[in-house]
């Protein structure tokens, strides 16, 4: 019998309880023993919930209960969640989480504690929601040196950009629609400013490249300044706008990472990832490119990944999974501004001036303003040249 405690009975925590209840027989068959939800920790009571009788308010009951094998942390944030996670690991309990902020900020230290206590700290749901991506990177792609990883890592921003194209509405209108549907928080800053995607690309990079990448070291741009005019213009020219988190290993072994809106050509498989869906592309030196696609959030999709980690932790009770990364080292970090790329610009400068500054540019549209894609060069050089054109809009271009 595997006994589980869930910390936080919000959307994901409730989903975990539901999955354990609904698929209990299936899970027991695959694991070879039953999994029982014994406690739910929350500051609230849930008298109308079928799981209400499991609710407690004192974490020490979980911490001191020798029967609890796995603690599922779905509180969110990096304060109370960090304290409870640290205490659970110190008590010799496996911990599973969907908390991207906690893993991105404190993952290295918590993994070290888990190693010392010979327990597992697992977090598949912290990056792709219901998309299995962390485990495939560790296991299925273990024979590869990862060269690059990037993706659409935030469903809220992807929904907003999709609506701007399909419904022809402004960023503000699309955001209000996302909030009304529950896809965006009333304070959407973490999503639209790119912070959520930043935390996720950090976790992906930590695992893929084996060294901690703190979120504060990753240049991050959001989507709030993207104009409907540009989204519509590039769509007519065969491009789509997507917010990407991207991490690249350079030839010198240094890893550069950033988050920014990108133009993706309509022929790229990621261009068709719409609404609240996410996608992650991994390029390995043996396998080439592989892409993972699916729901990046949501009650049951995220709970699916969490419960899969519960099963994995149970299977590795006696021999823990080796997961971890080296500490942050500024000398091992590359400069994202040095990455070669193209830029999309919209400027009132005339064609002659554009061709003088960026000879060989691809002109997407020309009227009172010119929309163009620059030749490929180091981003810092492209930015320097672009400043002379005083662009009305500027976006990265993938490829």
CB contact at 8 A, 339 and 260: no
Q: Is 15 exposed, middle or buried (0-12, 13-18, 19+ CB in 10 A)?
A: buried
CA distance 341 to 380: 10
- 72 and 57 together in one domain: yes
107 part of a folded domain: yes
Domain shared by 197 and 280, yes or no: yes
**CA dihedral sign of residues 380, 385, 387, 392:** negative
Query: Among residues 264, 295, 326, which one ends one of the domains?
Result: 295
281: in domain: yes
- Both 152 and 282 in one domain: the answer is yes
Same domain for 187 and 290, yes or no, is: yes
* DSSP β-ladder status, 94-97 and 68-73: parallel
What is the biggest distance separating any 2 CA atoms in the chain, rounded to whole angstroms? Answer: 75
Q: Is residue 325 part of a domain?
A: no
Verify that 266 and 358 share a domain, yes or no: no
The reply to whether 222 and 100 lie within a common domain is no
211: domain CATH number?
A: 3.30.360.10
Residues involved in catalysis: 200
Residue ranges making up the domain that contains 172 = 143-295
Query: Is there a domain that residue 345 lies in?
Result: yes
pTM of the model: 0.95
Residue 333 lies in a domain: no
Distance CA 269, CA 289 (A): 11
Same-domain status, 166 and 206: yes
Ranges assigned E (strand) in 42-92: 55-56, 68-73
**Structural domain contains residue 224:** yes
* Ordered per-residue pLDDT tens for the chain, 399 residues: 999 999 999 999 999 999 999 999 999 999 999 999 999 999 999 999 999 999 999 999 999 999 999 999 999 999 999 999 999 999 999 999 999 999 999 999 999 999 999 999 999 999 989 999 999 999 999 999 999 999 999 999 999 999 999 999 999 999 999 999 989 989 999 999 999 999 999 999 999 999 999 999 999 999 999 999 999 999 999 999 999 999 999 999 999 999 999 999 999 999 999 999 999 999 999 999 999 999 988 899 999 999 999 999 999 988 888 898 999 999 999 999 999 999 999 999 999 999 999 999 999 999 999 999 999 999 999 999 999 999 999 999 999
């Amino acid at each position: 019998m595997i006994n589980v405690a869930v910390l936080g009975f919000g959307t994901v925590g409730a989903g975990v309880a539901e999955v354990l209840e609904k698929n209990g027989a299936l899970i027991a068959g695959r694991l070879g023993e039953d999994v029982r939800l014994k406690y739910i920790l929350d500051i609230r009571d849930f008298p109308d919930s079928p799981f209400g009788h499991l609710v407690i308010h004192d974490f020490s009951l979980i911490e001191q209960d020798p029967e609890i094998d796995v603690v599922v942390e779905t509180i969110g944030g990096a304060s109370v969640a960090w304290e409870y996670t640290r205490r659970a690991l110190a008590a010799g309990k496996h911990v599973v989480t969907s908390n991207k902020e906690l893993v991105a900020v404190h993952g290295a230290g918590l993994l070290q504690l888990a190693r010392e206590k010979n327990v597992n700290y697992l977090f598949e749901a912290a990056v792709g929601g219901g998309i299995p991506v962390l485990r495939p990177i560790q296991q299925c792609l273990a024979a590869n040196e990862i060269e690059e990883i990037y993706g659409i890592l935030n469903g809220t921003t992807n929904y907003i950009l999709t609506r701007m194209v399909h419904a022809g509405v402004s960023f503000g209108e699309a955001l209000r629609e996302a909030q009304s549907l529950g896809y965006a928080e009333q304070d959407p800053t973490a999503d639209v400013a790119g912070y959520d995607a930043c935390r996720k690309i950090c976790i992906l990079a930590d695992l893929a490249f084996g060294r901690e990448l703190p979120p504060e070291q990753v240049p991050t741009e959001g989507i709030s300044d993207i104009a409907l005019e540009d989204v519509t213009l590039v769509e007519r020219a065969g491009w789509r706008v997507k917010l990407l988190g991207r991490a690249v290993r350079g030839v010198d072994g240094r890893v550069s990472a950033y988050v920014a809106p990108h133009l993706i050509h309509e022929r790229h498989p990621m261009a068709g990832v719409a609404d609240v869906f996410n996608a992650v592309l991994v390029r390995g030196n043996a396998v080439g490119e592989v892409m993972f696609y699916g729901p990046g959030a949501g009650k049951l999709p995220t709970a699916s990944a969490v419960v899969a980690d519960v099963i994995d932790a149970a299977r590795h009770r006696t021999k823990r999974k080796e997961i971890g990364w080296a500490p942050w080292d500024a000398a091992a970090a590359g400069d994202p501004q040095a990455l070669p790329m193209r830029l999309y610009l919209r400027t009132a400068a005339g064609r002659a001036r554009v061709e003088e500054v960026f000879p060989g540019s691809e002109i997407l549209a020309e009227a009172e303003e010119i929309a163009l894609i620059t030749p490929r060069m180091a981003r810092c050089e492209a930015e320097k040249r672009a400043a002379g054109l005083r662009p009305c809009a500027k976006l990265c271009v993938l490829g």
